[in-house]
Structures are given as structure tokens and as C-alpha cells.
Structure 1
Amino acid sequence: MATLAGERGLRTALGSFATGVTVATVGTDPPHGMTANAFTSVSLDPPLVLLCVRHGSATHSAIADLGAFAVSVLAADQAVLARRFADPLRPRDHTQFDGAAWCPGPRTGAPLLVHALAWLECQVTEHLDGGDHSVFLATVLDSGRGTGRDPLVFHRSGYHRLAPPSSTG
């Protein structure tokens, strides 16, 4: 087993853990969005999730100020959206949502991506410091599900589709 040193080594090791891909949004004027794979369910009762967001990002400031956000879970055919909202050079105004079908969430006003696998609207209950990121613990206010397409997966610094089930089990 090889040892991986430093930040790059840690990034390589953590990149071995496959995750789903989401776009987290905030219903400010203009709205903000970012690709996030550091998102997970915490509890069903009460319904809690957590989202990790890098300090200094526009989305971080908007979530911290507003105290609410939405998450759209991306399908395998939505890698273009994942790349767009991960691009550090994307516009920071309303045009970052151009070409992405969305509607404002009924509870938070945050953009919900229309063709996502699922969406959740969330109210921040705790804002914790996590090094160069904040951990936002949030209550799920509302949620919905789209079509049953395959999810987009992030693994080893790239977007992937799930492989078909193995016939050998």
C-alpha cells in the first residue's frame, strides 16, 4: 500500500470515494449556484442534510446570509450542468442559469433544476466551521423526485455513469 503525502495525496485518496453530484442553489437576486458533491443525508427524523461549501465563494456568502438553500440531484446526462456550476470562471449573475431549465422553489425561492433526479429545499439550522469549508446542517423543508434516470457520479476527479449491474453478482 502506497502512502500519499500532502494536500495532493489527500485529494487523490478522497477522490477514490465515489459520490453523487448535486447543484446547490440560493434564491438571492441574482441567484447563486455551485456544484457540490459534499452533500449527504444526516437524519430522516427529523429530516436533516448537510452541505459543505468553500469559504469565500459567492454561494457560501449567500447561504450564510439567507439561511436557506436548495439542492438538485443531477442525472447522468447532466454532466454539462455539473461542469458549468463548478467552473470558477462562470458568470456570477443571473446568466449562470442560462440554458438550464429551472423554477423557483416554493419554500425558499432557490432555483430547482427541472430535469434533476430529485430536489430538496432546506433551512440552515447550524453553520459549523470545517477548515477551509463551512458545514451547513439543514432541515429539509420540502423535497421532490423527477424521473428514474441514472445518477451522475463523481470519482477520481471525473464525472461518470453507473455501470450496468454485473450478471455475476
Structure 2
Amino acid sequence: MRKMNEKKTLVTGGTGFIGSHLVEELINRGENVKCIVREDYFKDRISSLKALGVEIVYGDILNKESIKNAMNNVETVYHLAAIARPMSILEEEYFKVNVTGTRNILDVCNDAEIKKIVYTSSISAVGPTRDGNPVDENTLCVPIDTYGRSKLESENVVREFFEKYKIPIVVVRCWLGCSIC
């Protein structure tokens, strides 16, 4: 068995599809992982995380105090928590969770002097390509739905945070394809 790192890695969104796989990989690499999760959210998935040895911290990314409680002894933060695709969600909720939640995470990371941050966005922030060419960093982003607009706005928050504090942040635009959506 690998020796666990003393410093911890915090994952938001660890009960989600991508987040749960990230947590498994981090554990396999010997990381000491903790996840901030809502108490009312996917209790079976929380149990699965606990079974992997993940430290669970109950909180909400909309509450800075609960985020602060999760930051003790954390070196790296992977921020994946977001509202993804429930079409019945109001536009304001997307922006509240995806943008304000991201801003809260970054503010607390700055206060806690976190040095490694990975923010998970979505290809939906880009929208469809107009000319059929591959997407790169220079592609004009024209999201076509509320989710995509909220993720693009979150990326703007991340960019502003980087420019202000010079803390390196990696932005990953994930694509999660499925045959039945």
C-alpha cells in the first residue's frame, strides 16, 4: 500500500460522475482526499467515498464558512461541484451555484493560501463551432444554453482571480458525451 500524503487534496463535486472517478484516481495515487458534500445529497455515493477512505466534510459551496471548515491542511483543490443539466432548474440557480459557488471556493482558497487549484468547466462554455474547426484557447465562446453561459461566466471569475492573485489555476473543459440525454 502506498504511503498517504500528509497534505490533503480537497474535491468539490466528489459525488458526481466525473468527481467520483477523480477521487478514485487520487486515492489510487496515494493522495489523502477529502470531499465537501451536502448532507442531503446522494447518501449512497457519500458512503462509497467513505469506503475508499475519503474524509467527508459536510458543507455547501454557497457558504464560505463551511468551505473554510474543509480547507484545514489542504494543499490542492479540485473544484467540480456545479449544477449540470437538470432542465427544471431556474437560470438564477445555475448562476448562483456555478458562478457564486466558484467565487466562494476561490476566495477561501486565497485566504487559505492554496497553491494548486483545478477548476472543471465544460465544453458547453464554448458552444458549437461555427466553421467545423477544432476548438482551442482562441475559439470564440458562444454558449447556447444557461448551463454553458454559467460555466463561461465561472471561467471569467477564475481568470479574474488568476490575474488578481497570480495563483496558478488549471481550467479543464470536460466533455461528457452520452447516447441518451
What is the TM-score with the length of structure 2 in the denominator? Answer: 0.21
Structure with the higher helix share, 1 or 2: 2
